[in-house]
Every structure is written in C-alpha cells, then in structure tokens.
Amino acid sequence: MAILNKIRQRSLILILVIALALFAFVIQGVIDNPNAFSDTQGVVATVNGKDIERNDFQQKVKNYQDRAGGRISSTQAMNAIYNQELRKIIMEDEYKTLGLSVEKDEMRDLLKNSFQSYPEFQDENGNFDVNRLNAFIANLKDLDGEAAPLGNFLVNYDSWANNEQTIASNAIQQSYYNLIKAGVGTTIAEAKNEYYSDAKNVDIRFVQIPYTTIADSIIEVTKSDVKAYMKDHEDKFKADANREVVYVEFKEEASVADEDAIKAELLDLKSDRAEYNDSSGNTDTIPGFDSVKDIEEFINSNSDIKYDDSFLRMAQLPAAAKDSLTKLKVGEYYGPYKDGEYYKLSKMIAVEQMPDTVNVRHILIPYAGGQRADASVTKTPEEAKTTADSILAKIKSGTKFMDLLDLSSDKVSNENDGELEFAYNAGMAPEFKAFSFENKVGDVDVVGTSFGYHVIEILEQKSTNDAYKIGTLARKIEPSEQTLQDVFNKMSKFEIAAKDGDFQELAKERELTVKPITFKELDENIPGLGSQRQVVRWAFEGGTDVGDYKNFPISGFGFIVAKLVEKNEEGLMSVEDASITALPEIRKEKKAKMIREKITATTIEDIAKNQGQSPRTAAALTLKNTTLAGAGTEPKVIGAAFGLAQGKVSEPIDGEKGVYVIEVTKVTDATELDNYTSIVNRLNNTLRNSVQSKVYKALEDAADIEDNRAKTVY
C-alpha cells in the first residue's frame, strides 16, 4: 500500500509538471503569435460581411480532394474551393439585390428540361409526366436518407435537393448574365470606327534613330530617377507581400558503396545458400536463382518488382539492356545493370517464336462489378463462369461460334462477327492477350479478365518473331541507414555552423549550391521540390526575422536548410527590385530626349543625313496592325501617321525601338458602306461573349474581401 501511495503522489507531481509545460507552450504561442486565438482563426475569409467558416470550408476541401483522387495538392484544392465560395457569395449578393429567384413553376420546367429523357419520369407514350416526378421526390423523402435508383445512379433526398439547388443556381446565373448582355451593344459609330481602322490606310516615309546609337554606359540613372518613374507608373510596381529565401539541399541519395552493396546482394541470390533450421535442428539448403524450380515465387520473394510471366518482344525490353538480353541463351544471366531507379539481374527463362499480331473472335459474359459492366448485368462471377463454360461446351460439341454471338455483351466486336485483330503491344486485358499469343491457331477456351469471362477462339497469327521470357531480380537504389545518418549529420553540422558563420561562405566551403526563391504568402511550390508550404509558413511567421534559418525535411528527397534574407510587405516594390523593369525604360526616355535635342532639320532626307541613317518607306499601314515594316511593333508611330495630313512631316516621336520622324505620302480613304449591320452583329457577339468573365472580375474587385487563408487553413 505504501508503494501505491508513492506512485499516486508521483503521478500527481507528473500531471502538474505536464500541465505547467502545456500552459507554458500555449502562452509562448500567444506571445509569438498574438492572433493565435483571434476571431479570424475560425473564419477563412469574410466577403461583403459574410464569413466562410473554417470547418465547413475544410470539409468541402476534403470532398474536392477525394473526388480528384489524389491528383491535386491540398493547396490547389483549397484555392479551388476558396474561389468557388467567393464567387458564390458575390453572385448571390447580386441576385438578392436584383430580386432574382426561381419560382416553383419555373423550377418544374427546369427539372423537366433536365430529366425528361429519364424513363422513370415518362408516361406510356414516352412523354414527360410531372406526376411521376412528384411521386419520385415524395418517395425519396419517405426513404429518410436511403437511396433509390435513377438511371444508372443511386440518389437520396439530400443529393436530389443539392442537384435541384445547382439547377436553380445555374438558371439564376443565366438570367443575370442575359440581363447584362441585353444592355450591352455596339453603336453604328463604333462599327464605323472598326471598319475604318482596317479599311483606311496610309503610306509613309520615315527615319528611325535607334536608341542603340547611344551607349547605355553614358546614361546615368539614379535612385531618384527610379523612384520618380515608379511614382508615375505605380500600377506596374505594386507588389504583394513576399519573402526572399535562400536554401541549400542535402539529398538522401545512395552512395557508390550503397550501389555496390545492392549489386553484391543481387549476385549472392544466384547461388544456393545454407540456412540453419531452428525447428529441425538441421542445416537446410535454400535454392538460389541458379537452381530454383518456382521462378515466380523466388522472384516475388526477393525482388522489388514482381515477376512477369509473359513473353516480351525486343521493343518491350529495357532500353538499358536490350541488346545484351537478346543475346542470352536460356539459363544465362545479364547484370547487375542499372535501369532507372533499380539495379537488375536478369536470367533468360525461355525463347520462343511468337506472332506480332493475332486475329481472334470471342464471346464476353460479364458479371456485376466487372469493368465497364452496366447496371443491367446481374450475374455473379461464378454464374458468368458457368455460362461461359456451357458456351465452350456447345462449341466443342459442334455448335458454330457465330450462332452464339448473341450471348456476347461486346457489341463492338459483335458487329464484326465477334472478331478482334490486335498487336502484342495493344492495350488489351493481359489474360486475353496471353491466351491469344501463347497458344495455337484453332485453340478455343474460357479466359477470365477484369471484364468478365471470354470464350476465345484463335483464328490467325501473323509476323512471327523471337519473344523472350525473362526472370528479373530488381532492387531499388536507395541509401543505406549509414548514408542517411551521414546526410543528417552533414545537414546538422551546416546548420550549427550557420549560427555564427556566413551562409554563402559555408555553402561554398562544402560545395553546396545556394538557391534563391521568392514566396508570396499563399504560394506552395519550390522548383524541383514540389509543394513545401512548411517553408512558406515559416518565412511569413511573425517570429521569423531576416537572418533566421531552419532545416526542413523534404519527403522523398532529404533536407534543406533555408535562410530568410528579405521581408517585403505589400505596397510598391523596393527600388532595387523595381530597377530591373524601370532601368531600361528610364534609359530609353533619357536617350529619346538626347536624340530629340539633336534633331534640327525639318525634312526626312536632312534628318536622316544628319543622324547617319537612311530614309525608309512603309506602305498600306492600318490602325489595326501596329507593326512597322523593318522596325517592329510601333503603335505610337502608326497612330501618329493617321493624325497627319498627306504631305505633312511629324514632330519627333518616341517609339519602342527609337525616335522617329515620319511624313505621310499617301492617304487611301475607305469607301463608305451602305450598311454596317454585319459589323455591329460581329462586335456585339464578341462583346457579349466576354461579359461573363469581365462582369465577375469587376464584382470581385469591388467586393469587400478579408482573406485569412494563410492564417487559418494554410
């Protein structure tokens, strides 16, 4: 009893220690992240005053990922659901403001349009019967969550209600956009402008003084110049908050010693080995690849790739060993050899002459649950096999194959007397293919596949060539425990040294490549490493400062050590970042000014002569085509040409590639059309087709959105 009391006393002390530790952990979390328990933690976003709740959001994300079957990342799923919920709230606000809804009678019409082809809702004459629809819905209610068949599907009342809601939502959306499209149109004046922009043309003579005639080195650009340019072009230099990170990689890769060990293990499997048997007390001889009788069991027990019992043509053999494998005699080996992520040791099991193409005919008896089996199939696998066996028995007793084709569910081949012709590399069921190629013309038998049971008769085999049955022991090339430990130690030593050392210099000393990357708060990918939200979250955490570093395990790769080198908050770019875009434009402006100041002549010939250039011509310019022959895209120059009268010379024009002076030599006016209706209709179609995307973008821009994704679910 005294011992029990001591245990109880110590348990109370232990519980108190754990509680204090948990309290300290929570308090530290609040200190590090003051928003940890804020109201926004349960709200993914607030849109026009409406909250997207976290729990409901995450359930929708999970459902979306389940439907995608693992083909998308969690971040991609979250973004998709976020955009879906955002659109739903924004559009529902619009519908409510306009009073748009679907009334009961309209809903019945919508359901009729959606389901009138279903036999369940048709009368004896094949016409839609609303009473049958009402009865079906009432029955779903009575089933209290149980499903009822509808066509090839099973539906319950909840799924039906959700479907009705989707149909109604789509109808309201269509009405909304139809209202907007009805108010959008093209005027006759706009149609005329469209016509003249293509029909009217001008010829010009021009001289171009390229910006390249002035060296970049003599153009001084200061920080003040960049700041002034940014101020004049703020839209170009707006930036989301981002973090600049550098990192080094520590890959968990097999060493040379690891690869040598894998090859040695494969070679050891060739020979028999002695193994002590604890049960019998005797030393047993375990057969190796040289002497084993059951090749399939041996390979499946000792290889990372299962045994393939089929015969392979040369084109199907591994490219890395194709020539060597085809030269092997039965019983000979090749390897170990490297093939992708594996080392392999291959043994020739058999070589036979086999056809490259076969022609067969078959009768398919499917079973419920089989691949591509429709809802009308009710046979169990056992019943399907019994039916196929009975058909085979009839054929062998003299009934013609052709007389039994009506029993086959393969309607495609039935249209060709049940015949199929295919090559050895066709995408057929493996069992079907094996029987067709590995047996003789005239053979007939029952073969089971994922589609059901087939009665197959081989009619013809063509183009006979060598085929090889090869037994291959494969081992995936993976790092050993020692190598993994060495990589971890190398990463840890680097991380420790980075505390007091220079990140770049330490990497250089260890022959590691420093890789830079810039993240926005909702980004996830690192090139070559895939989705790494953990790194992005760390870089944006309130407690992470410039100069901080951390290691991150990367699944299937190893580790990285990352260092935060810069924090950039939302707003204008830094002068340094903006300079990449701004410098060329500022230089261009300064060069244009210098060139203009040097132009004193008034004719094309004199200007060209003074500037060391040659006069050029361009014919049939239109407003729709902004390309100037021999100069490139120059919209300002072409626009100026249409503002000049014939024979007039322009002032210097700052173009994309240089400064231009132009003279209009000919103006060809367009012939007035009697009717512009066709142009109006074309422009109307183009305009109305773009309404949907443009309207929603405008609504989204105008919406009051508080996006908390990075703080709640990412």
pLDDT in tens, 289-316: 999 999 999 999 999 999 998 889 888 8
Do β-strands 530-531 and 525-526 pair in parallel, antiparallel, or remain unpaired?
antiparallel
Count Cα atoms within 13 angstroms, Cβ side, for 486.
12
Q: Which residues of 528-566 are buried (b: 16+ CB within 10 A; e: fewer)?
A: ebebbbebbbbbbeeebeeeebbbeebeebbbbbbbbbe
Burial zone of 693 (CB within 10 Å; 0-12 exposed, 13-18 middle, 19+ buried) = exposed
Do β-strands 273-276 and 452-476 pair in parallel, antiparallel, or remain unpaired?
unpaired
- Residue 219 and residue 592: Cα distance in Å, rounded? 11
Judge whether 201-237+575-668 and 242-252+479-569 match in fold.
yes
Q: If you ran DSSP here, which 8-state letter would residue 122 be given?
A: B
H or E segment at 274?
Answer: strand 273-276
Nearest to 452 by CA among 524, 513, 380, 523: 380
CB 177, CB 95: distance < 8 Å = no
Q: Which residues of 93-119 are buried (b: 16+ CB within 10 A; e: fewer)?
A: beeeeeebebeeeeeeebbeeebeeee
In 10 A of CB 333, how many CB atoms?
Answer: 17
What is the crossing angle of helices 74-98 and 691-702, to 10°?
A: 90
Assign domain 242-252+479-569 to its CATH architecture: Roll (3.10)
> Is the whole-model pTM more than 0.85?
no
CB 24, CB 688: distance < 8 Å = no
pLDDT of residue 410: 84
Split the chain (714 residues) into runs of 10 and give each run's mean pLDDT: 39 45 45 44 89 91 85 87 93 92 88 89 88 90 87 85 90 91 92 94 96 95 94 90 95 96 96 82 87 94 93 89 94 95 96 92 92 84 94 92 88 82 88 92 94 94 91 96 96 94 94 94 88 92 93 94 92 87 95 95 94 95 92 94 95 96 96 93 91 90 90 71
- What single string gives the DSSP state of each residue in 541-588? STT--TT-EEEEEETTTEEEEEEEEEEE-SEEPPHHHHHHHHHHHHHH
Alpha helices in 450-524, H assignment, sequence order:
481-497, 503-509
Q: Which residues of 150-165 are buried (b: 16+ CB within 10 A; e: fewer)?
A: beeeebbbeebeeebe
- Residue 161 and residue 320: Cα distance in Å, rounded? 58
- What single string gives the DSSP state of each residue in 380-447? -HHHHHHHHHHHHHHHHTT--GGGGGGG---HHHHTTTTEEEEETTS---HHHHHHHHHS-TT-EEEE
CB 650, CB 663: distance < 8 Å = yes
Could you report how far apart the first and last alpha carbons of the chain are, in Å? 53
- Residue 150 and residue 155: Cα distance in Å, rounded? 7
Residue 236's SS3 state is helix
The answer to whether the Cα torsion of 686, 690, 695, 697 is positive or negative is negative
- Listed by start position, the domains of the chain span 1-32, 100-182, 201-237+575-668, 242-252+479-569, 286-476
Q: If you ran DSSP here, which 8-state letter would residue 649 be given?
A: B
Q: Which residues of 572-595 are buried (b: 16+ CB within 10 A; e: fewer)?
A: bbeeebbbebbbeebbbbbbbebb
CB 184, CB 691: distance < 8 Å = yes
> Which two three-digit tokens encode residue 323?
């020539």
> Which two three-digit tokens encode residue 551?
């290691």
Burial zone of 324 (CB within 10 Å; 0-12 exposed, 13-18 middle, 19+ buried) = middle
H or E segment at 270?
Answer: none
- Residue 312 and residue 328: Cα distance in Å, rounded? 14
CATH annotation of 286-476: 3.10.50.40
CB 239, CB 573: distance < 8 Å = yes
Mean pLDDT of the chain: 89
Do β-strands 273-276 and 616-621 pair in parallel, antiparallel, or remain unpaired?
unpaired
Q: What are phi and psi of 59, to 5 degrees?
A: -65, -40
- Choose the CATH number for 201-237+575-668 among 3.30.160, 1.20.1070, 3.10.50, 3.10.350: 3.10.50
CB 223, CB 304: distance < 8 Å = no
Order across the sheet with 43-47: list the strands. Answer: 50-53, 43-47, 705-707
- Residue 362 and residue 410: Cα distance in Å, rounded? 9
Beta bridge partners of 454: 364, 447
> Which two three-digit tokens encode residue 222?
């200061």
Count Cα atoms within 13 angstroms, Cβ side, for 577.
16
State the Cα torsion 416-419-423-425 to the nearest 10°.
90
> Which two three-digit tokens encode residue 171?
């109808």
H or E segment at 499?
Answer: none
Q: If you ran DSSP here, which 8-state letter would residue 214 be given?
A: S
Residue 449's SS3 state is strand
pLDDT of residue 32: 46
- What single string gives the DSSP state of each residue in 240-266? --EEEEEEEEEE----HHHHHHHHHHH
Nearest to 531 by CA among 42, 77, 225: 77
- Residue 72 and residue 74: Cα distance in Å, rounded? 7
Alpha helices in 286-365, H assignment, sequence order:
295-302, 322-325
What is the crossing angle of helices 130-142 and 157-182, to 10°?
A: 130
H or E segment at 201?
Answer: strand 201-210
Nearest to 507 by CA among 518, 519, 497: 497
| Number of residues assigned to the chain | 714
- 401 contacts: CB under 8 Å, gap ≥ 6: 361, 363, 395, 418, 444, 457
Residue with tokens 């469209």: 194
The CA-based angle 148-153-159, given to 5 degrees, is 65
CB 322, CB 314: distance < 8 Å = yes
> Which two three-digit tokens encode residue 162?
């959700």
